[in-house]
Amino acid sequence: MESTTEDRMKVLLLCVAVAGLIGGLALQFLLDQADLARLCWSAATLPVLAALVVEIIRSLVRGEVGLDVVAALSMSAALLFDEALAATIVAIMYTGGTFLEAFAEGRARREMRDLLSRAPRTATRHRDGGLQEIPVEEVIPGDRLLIRQGDVVPVDGRLEAGSAYLNMAALTGESLPVSIETGAEILSGSTNAGHAFDMVATEAAKDSTYAGIVRLVEQAQRSKAPMSRLADRFSIGFLAITVLIAFAAWWVTGDPIRAVAVLVVATPCPLILAVPVALVAGLSRAAQFGVLIKGAKPLESMARIHTLVLDKTGTLTDGRPQITRIHAEPGFSEAEVLELAASVDQLSKHPMAQALVAAAEARGLALPLPAQTEEVPGEGVAGKLEGKTVFVGGHGFVTARTGNAGSAIAAAEAGSVLVAVGVEKQFAGSILMADPVRADVGEMLAGLRHDGVKRLVLATGDRAAVAERIAGGLGLDAIHAELSPDRKVHVVLEERKLGPVMMVGDGVNDAPALAVADVGVAMGARGAAASAEAADVVLLVDRIDRLRTGLVIAKSARTIALQSVVVGIGLSVLAMLAAGFGYLQPVQGALLQEAIDVATILNALRSLRIAVPAAESAATRPAT
């Protein structure tokens, strides 16, 4: 409500200033009433000046000194020395600048507002053989929900049965809907692009993906750009130069109007607003590609990164085990070995079991439901299929129960896992699984070096042999393996001695290191909530190449912001000198400064169209 009142006040003051300008011009040139015209211009300027003085006092209480002081001085001097028309033009410039800034930030945050507005308010729950519409806050884990076509999924959950077709563009930036099957995870905020389906809630609304994203967006909207604060500190020097030039022009010539002209032309209030506009527009642009940056401070920090520290699992690697080889014993085919293993594993929540089921479904294998299943944590699963007992797990687990060791293949490389399969007293075969390096990692790392990142470092809790295998051919500068969370923090702190550090991770164990890095980046699509909370940047799409996208946008937005400051203030200083030498009258100076300010803010809006060719093409590809 407060922001709405402030916006209305900005519009009202702008309307008063414009009406006063038009009314004064009519009195001056149509009715030849010069005195009444000056009175009209003064009356239109005074409310704006009063509001500006109140804002300056508030800023001083907060310990901030901005260039609004110059605007107040110029309006006051113009009124004092009977340059009421110039004072009114400055008033229009000031109120118009604040209005333009509000409009620009509104446009820049359009995607974020859309995200917030899409948050579902109700959910349809199955209860007592019927359906009931309930507030989304009342959904609890275990509730069975109906998701109709076009509905936004209210909470995180899993698909109960059949298949579903989801549009996840609001979460990931992926333009094409994706198809999921029974048991698959569903993220809140996805839109049902296909037929109605039932899902089982796994999280309450406040703990779901969409709610977390909304919280991050709200944090980003409340942030203030550090470059804006830097400009405020610099404004003290700019203010001193302005007063010095104005006083010198008055003292040398004895003409106070020259001092008024200098003060009028030195009113770059909207200019300083161009800095947060450029950075907030950069946040919006990054959000279009699934890179949620929590505020302008981390966006600016991203532009200055010297070292990138990466976790392995879920970052450099996919984080989900995949089949690399299947060995079948005599009497069994590779498809039969996989079908047996996946069928028994359907009821297990173990990541390896879920990976086997997904691989079997991808190959179109029919998976009968097992009976009398028994899972031994850390060892394996046993279950009956068509009356026969099937064992799936470690080689020792299967060998002990079948009494047959088979001719199992050995793990070919560090980081591989062997899944053995047995039927009754027979050893059916083995499945070799590993966590592969993401296909786009090499290209992404090379791109980051091209964009100015000096060091690339791997920091993982995995074994050294696994880390060496994963890092092979990636051209990393350092590899740290077998790290505990506190040792990861130590690695980040050591790297910070060389320059700003960006840390990328996805697990709970990465959260401390993400928090101490200059910029922490969480793989938010499948990563732990703790890492997303500790991070400054969250990749909402499960694509590591979007890291470079965010970096390119951050660098470009910061460059555009700096351009706005350097060019705008440079032109203002030149205009002040021209006014001091008598080449600009107060009214002319006010009009010229208005043009400079509008140009710099329009330049800042270029951040909404930062070109990221690789990311734009990637955004059109379906999710992996």
Q: Which residues contact 597 (CB under 8 A, 6 or more apart)?
A: 93, 97, 268, 269, 270, 271, 274, 568
Return the bridge partners of 423, or none: 390, 426
**Of 68, 156, 232, 311, which one is the catalytic site residue?**
311
Backbone φ/ψ region at 610: left (φ over 0), alpha (ψ -120 to 50), beta: beta
- Give CA–CA dist 482/509, Å, rounded: 12
CA-based nearest residue to 65, from 76, 56, 78: 56
- Positive or negative torsion for Cα 201, 204, 205, 210: negative
Q: Which residues contact 558 (CB under 8 A, 6 or more apart)?
A: 227, 278, 279, 282, 299, 300, 303
Cβ atoms of 288 and 173 closer than 8 Å = yes
- Give CA–CA dist 204/185, Å, rounded: 14
The strand pair at 197-201 and 144-147 is best described as antiparallel
3-state secondary structure of 554: helix
CA-based nearest residue to 488, from 468, 467, 515, 470: 515
Cβ atoms of 277 and 601 closer than 8 Å = yes
Counting Cα atoms < 13 Å in the Cβ hemisphere of 227 gives: 28
Cβ atoms of 296 and 283 closer than 8 Å = yes
Q: In this structure, what are the phi and psi dihedrals at residue 357, rounded to the nearest 5 degrees? A: -60, -45
First to last CA, the chain: 42
Task: Transcribe 314-380 into DSSP letters.
Answer: IIIB-SS-EEEEEEE-TT--HHHHHHHHHHHGGG---HHHHHHHHHHHHTT---PPPEEEEEETTTE
3-state secondary structure of 483: coil
Return the bridge partners of 163, or none: 181
Number of other CB atoms surrounding residue 31 within 10 Å: 10
The most distant pair of C-alpha atoms in the chain lies apart, rounded to whole Å, by 112
Per-residue CA distances from 533 to 198, 313, 458, 569 (Å): 30, 19, 22, 38
Cβ atoms of 522 and 298 closer than 8 Å = no
In which residue are the tokens 């049965």 written? Answer: 161
Amino acid in position 135: P
Query: Is 311 noted as a catalytic residue in this protein?
Result: yes
- Give CA–CA dist 292/285, Å, rounded: 10
Q: Which residues contact 395 (CB under 8 A, 6 or more apart)?
A: 405, 408, 418, 420, 430
Active site positions, annotated: 311
